[in-house]
Amino acid sequence: MAGARAAIRYAKAVLSLASDRKSADAVNADMKLIANTIAESKDLNDALQSPVVSSAIKKSILLEVFKKSDKTTVSLIDTLIANNRIAILGDVAVKYNQLFDQSKGIELATVTTAIPLTEALKQKVLAKAKELTGKDIEVESIVDESILGGFILRVGDIQYNASISNQLNKLKREFTIN
């Protein structure tokens, strides 16, 4: 919990600094890369979380992996190292992306389908979600075969469940009640 609050504070500070330096877009790209890399690389995540690995080694690893980062991103890494908070770098990156999207009026829509979305279907979902919210939408696609068919659309706090498994569950409840 304290780590999540700290991550939000660091993300807000970095977004403010990046906006002042007119480099918010470049830092956003860096943060997406950092968040994805840390999420996908167990070794990097373990190294950042490890109390055995020294801060100097963590810093050199990060600067080597993210060589082409903006100077604001490098400043964030330096600050997190200095404050012994480098373990929350991935959380800071995720929060930064969310805050950046909010500042640009972009909402994230998550679409869960049984099979991967085609580009044409993705465009239809994008148009419908934009129509519903009135905001620019970024679509994240998740494949979950357990829904059998159809889709589940989540935009912010709104969820629309048009999955086959949901419809089957509704039928099952109807028959067991009556």
DSSP string, 58-114: HHHHHHHHTTT--HHHHHHHHHHHHTT-GGGHHHHHHHHHHHHHHHTTEEEEEEEES
The answer to whether residues 45 and 115 belong to one domain is no
The 8-class DSSP code of residue 22 comes to: T
Please indicate, yes or no, whether residues 126 and 84 belong to a single structural domain of this protein.
Answer: no
pLDDT for residue 2: 59
Q: Note whether 91 and 22 are same-domain residues.
A: yes
Residue 57 belongs to domain with CATH number:
1.10.520.20
* Contact of 97 with 32, CB cutoff 8 Å: yes
Residues of the chain short of pLDDT 50, as ranges, are 1
In SS3 terms, 127-177 reads as HHHHHHHCCEEEEEEEECHHHCCEEEEEECCEEEEEEHHHHHHHHHHHHHH
Phi/psi of residue 140, each to 5°?
A: -110, 125
Contacts of 102 (CB under 8 A, 6+ apart): none
Which is it for the CA torsion 129, 133, 134, 140, positive or negative? negative
Confidence at residue 126, expressed as pLDDT on a 0 to 100 scale: 81
Residues 144 and 90 in one domain: no
Tell me, yes or no, whether 96 and 110 share the same domain. Answer: no
Q: Which domain holds residue 163?
A: 106-177
What does the alpha-carbon distance between residue 164 and residue 169 come to, in Å, rounded to a whole number? 9
Residues 12 and 79 in one domain: yes
Q: Among 102, 134, 150, which residue terminates a domain?
A: 102
Whether residue 137 is found in the same domain as residue 95? no
Over residues 86-95, the pLDDT tens digits come to: 999 999 999 9
Question: Considering its fold, how many domains does the chain have in total?
Answer: 2
Tell me which of 102, 132, 162 is where a domain ends: 102
Residues 98 and 110 in one domain: no
Structural tokens at position 97: 């992306």
- Are 87 and 120 within one domain? no
Residue in the structure block whose two tokens are 């991967």: 116
Residue 178 CA to residue 167 CA, distance in Å, equals 17
> pTM for the full model?
0.72
Q: Do 115 and 89 fall within a single domain?
A: no
pLDDT of residue 29: 94
What three-state secondary structure class fits 29? helix
Based on the domain organization, do 33 and 118 belong to the same domain? no
Are residues 92 and 6 both part of a single domain? yes
Model confidence pLDDT, tens digit, residues 138-176:
888 888 888 888 888 888 778 888 888 888 888 888 888
